[in-house]
Structure 1
Amino acid sequence: MSMINPGASNVMSTMGKMSQSPAAVIRMQNLSERIRDFQNASKSERDQIRTEIERNVKRLEDQQQKQQLGDRNAFSQIKEAMSTTQDAIATQKAQREILDEKKTKEIQVIESSVTVEFNIERQHRKELDQKLTKFVEERYQTLKTEIDKERISRDQGAEQQRVEVNGTCQEMLQELEQDRKFRDDEMQRIEKYMTVECQKLRDGIQEEQRTRVEATDQLYNKLTEVVKDLQNKIKAEREDREQTEDGLLQLLEQTCKKVEEAMP
């Protein structure tokens, strides 16, 4: 066991220095299992396993050296690429600074030109404002004078118009008063006429009612007389008919009697 443990510790230390790729992890697990089997094997098997382990360790160390060499080469390439990139960035930065300086000068020239034009425009605007202010003041004074004249004229016209309107109103009031008086007189005349006519109408209605009552009474009396005459005539006719019927019955009885006597 004392001969096996140093080899196992070397293997573990060597595997600890390797990069922990998935394939290396799997191989390390397999190797650990084989070490456990090695601890349980016989001396000849242990020697064989130890030889195989040392061979595998040597192969792993060679692979690690190759990998380290490849890593150094890749690192050198990356370093060269970074150096090239930094040089390109520095060159681009210098070009950008030159371009920025050029654009700054152009902007300064444009700004100076715009400032000059702005000052000219501001001076022109100032002169124009002064002219407009003067024109507005003159126009204001002119309009104020015209408005004052128009107000005076309007006040005079308004006073004259007020007098005319007052006179017209007085005339209209007089006409309205006359019209009201005329309407009152006309209403009184109409009321008087209506009173007379209504009285005449009431008298006519009363006379017509009286005449209708008299005519009704006369008609009733005539109808009564006619009814009495009819009743008398009907009574007389009934008496005549009864007498005639009695005579006919007597004649019929006599005839029947004669017939009976004549029969054998």
Structure 2
Amino acid sequence: MIQNAAAYNEWSAQKKGTELTKPKNAVFSLGQAPSNKSSIRENSSAKKKESTGKKLEGLLALQELSQSLFGPPKRESSPRRQGRQSSPQRQGAKSRLSPTRQLRDAQMLISDIQPQPSQFDQRTINSVGRLGLLTPAQELQYKSQNVPLQMQMVTDKVFSIERGISETEQKVGDQLSTVKERVNAIGRIIEEDKLQYFQLQEARVQEMRILEARFLDRLEHEATARKELERKLMQLIENRAAQVKAEILNESRSRIESISTIESNLQADFPRLQEAINQSAITREDGDSELMRRITDESTKLVELVEDERKQREETEESILELLRDMVSRIKAEIDTEKKERESSEESLLQLLEDTCAKLGQVNLVTQKPTTGGNPNILLQ
């Protein structure tokens, strides 16, 4: 669009220079009286052909500019025309239109973007159209009197149309730049939101890694403590077993010594020793029972201590696992909430962008309305 606008500005500048020099040449040529009517007619026909070609070029350039700025004109076609397909012969005939037909088509297209002429301009056009009814001498006299004024009016009208087109282009450019800045701002907001979301997600992942490392360290510490406790318990059990074995050996040694003493004294004092033997047997049995009871009690205490320690360790591990599950579930819930909030913010931003585009379309329609309509016959004078 910018390239088309630059091309149009260059063409309008060339046209302004041509139009500024044209009235003087026209007046000068009209001031030179021709020798006969045939030369006047030949000159007028040549001038008409030249002006028609220039007007056709200008109208085609305006048509290209209007199509580049506002798109091709939309015309409603009748059902018969919609149902009827164009044949290759018709397409070839359309491509071989005469310059007059092309000029008329260009005038119909340009009429959509030109303003309606005023009553004074219409009277001027009608008066110029009646020149064909005059004789060559009357036509020459009428042109010598009214052509400079008419050319000045046409030139002013062309300048005003070109100035309106340039102002419209400037307004459209300003509006497009404003919309572009808004779209860029929205894009920057979206990029910042994405960057913030990625940073938050990275922080969450880093926090999860730290929690996982802490949990693994805690488990390793608990495993080491459990192994150390088991080692201490085994050492305690071994020490107690060694003490019991030493006591049993001492008791056996003392028993053997007592038996030896009894055997040595049996021969001398068997009757007195019978009662002592019985009493000793009873005492020995009581001692054995007490010793077995003590051994059983100590073993039971050791087993209960080991069982209590195992239960405490299992409860500790279960509480740690439950705490980790709660922590993971909370982190997942926070991540899901953050994701939903991000999606809702993206949807709101997309809705805002769609509304902005819709408003831009409405603004473009409003800016196109002042440039519709008009009569291109003013440019043809």
Query: Rg: which structure is higher?
Result: 1
Structure number with higher relative contact order (C-alpha < 8 Å, ≥ 6 residues apart)? 2
TM-score normalised by L of structure 2:
0.24
TM-score normalised by L of structure 1:
0.32
